[in-house]
Amino acid sequence: MRAEFPIFAAHPGLVYLDSAATSQKPQIVIDRMNRYYTEENANVHRGVYELSETATRVFEGSRAYIASALNATIEETIFTRGTTEAINLVAQSLGQLLLQPGDEILLTVAEHHSNIVPWQIVAERHGAKVRFIPLNKDRRLDMQEAARMVNSRTKIMAFAHISNVLGIEHPVHDLIALAKSVGAATLVDGAQGIAHLPVDVRVLDCDFYAFSGHKVFGPTGIGVLYGRKSLLDRMPPYQGGGDMIEKVTLNGSTWNSLPSKFEAGTPNIAGAVGLGAAFEFVKGLDLGKTLAHDRALGQMLVDEIKRSFPKMNLMIEPGPDWIGLVTMAHEFIHPHDLAAICDTDQVCIRAGHHCAQPLMEIFGVPATARVAPFLYNDENDIDRFVAALHKAEKLFA
């Protein structure tokens, strides 16, 4: 698969192990975006000339393709700038629709900041309270505690499909069932899930599913929010202007139909077209095989760390809910120093708090290093990281 990604030809010897932050882009996506800019570039929806109609057709064609892949309708498939904007959209708009003083929003302690901060903002605005499902001893969600925390005041539950720190698939079906038992709305942060798991929003039965294109072989600055139509119809607009308007008078305005109601301003047309191409690329993959590949590489690294690096602490033990992502903290090497040493050998890893400071506080560390294998990695890449880790230990000893 590496040959599909031109960045590896541009950088011979590159070991890219940071795909949880952003994936590399296959040639099909790059070519499709270039084609849009060189042959189809115009604004969408409003133009009555042929080039604008072509741009509209390819833009809306990508939406339709993505909606079909998610088992959603076109009306329920909203383009955003990414997961963060999608969650903010839901928090602000759904919060205005549902929340009253004393209501509760239930999250998990393992959330990305983008699935914590928007809810804190909206909770403060409406007098609601944000509560957090804790982890159990094996650092999976404590579902018994979750069941105790859900109550009649719970109006919204939001949680990641897969943790960007632990690499663990949360029991989303069970969480959604808990929410439904008290009539709460559900949002799934699919930023990590979309690249590793088949996503069928009808099977999940969630109310919202959000993800970013750049995690799933697509361009940056584009994402998708799936929303249940019955809720989207009731929710007020998040932003004003552009295509979200039906009619404007000096006395007031009315809103366009879905999905335009939530797409203010000129959209990222090239990004949407590129994301459609990324979904075409994914359609040609066997996600079960690619997940098994990622797990095998992750397990190879875990085994080597346990065998050769007693000073390295792993944040999670692999299990059937694990995607192969390895997060670790060394007893005397700061993650930033480790990442810098890796970089001298063209090995790219992530270091920091991974936008999950509450989880770092629970772990008792300021930061961790993260290795995220993906389909364009192989065993040699893991060996190269291990060699860099040996180098770092010798240097800092």
User: Using CA of residue 378, residue 380, residue 383, residue 387, what is the dihedral sign?
Assistant: negative
Q: Mark whether 355 is an active-site residue.
A: yes
- Per-residue pLDDT for 181 more than 90? yes
List pLDDT tens digits, range 207-253.
999 999 999 999 999 999 999 999 999 999 999 998 899 999 999 99
Mean pLDDT score, 57-68: 98
Residue 45's Cα: distance from chain center in Å? 28
224 & 326 share domain: no
Say how far apart CA 45 and CA 62 lie, in whole Å.
14
Report how far residue 255's alpha carbon sits from residue 263's, in angstroms, rounded to the nearest whole number: 11
Say yes or no: 68 and 6 in one domain.
no
Return the structure tokens found at 140.
């999976």
Residue 104 counted as domain residue:
yes
The CATH number given to whatever domain includes residue 193 is 3.40.640.10
What is the tens place of the pLDDT at every residue in 260-296? 999 999 999 999 999 999 999 999 999 999 999 999 9
In terms of domains, do 278 and 293 share one?
A: no
pLDDT per position as a tens digit, 157-172: 999 999 999 999 999 9
Q: How many CB atoms are located within 10 Å of the residue 367 CB? A: 18
Q: Does residue 212 share a domain with residue 100?
A: yes
- What pLDDT sits at residue 140? 98
What's the confidence (pLDDT) of residue 46? 83
pLDDT tens column, 88-140? 999 999 999 999 999 999 999 999 999 999 999 999 999 999 999 999 999 99
Asked if residue 30 is part of any domain, the answer here is: no
Domain final residue pick, 283, 300, 318: 283
**CA-CA distance, 79 to 212, in Å (whole number)?**
10
Give yes or no: residues 137 and 7 share one domain.
Answer: no
| Domain of 295, in residue numbers | 2-23+286-396
Which of 264, 283, 302 is the last residue before a domain boundary? 283
Q: Based on the structure, what is the number of domains in the chain?
A: 2
Same domain, 19 and 62: no
**Which of 206, 342, 348, 355 is the catalytic position?**
355
Q: Could you tell me if 336 and 250 lie in one domain?
A: no
Is the pLDDT at 397 greater than 90? The verdict is no
346: alpha, beta or left, given left = phi > 0 and alpha = psi -120 to 50? left
- Residue 4 C-alpha from the chain's centroid: 23
In this structure, the answer to whether residues 55 and 145 fall within a common structural domain is yes
Indicate whether this model's pTM tops 0.85: yes
- Determine which helix (DSSP H) or strand (DSSP E) holds 109, and give its type and residue range: none
Q: Let me know whether 46 and 185 are in one domain.
A: yes
Whether 179 and 93 share a structural domain: yes
Q: Mark which of 260, 283, 306 sits at the end of a domain.
A: 283
Q: Is the pLDDT of residue 338 over 90?
A: yes
Contact of 356 with 165, CB cutoff 8 Å: yes
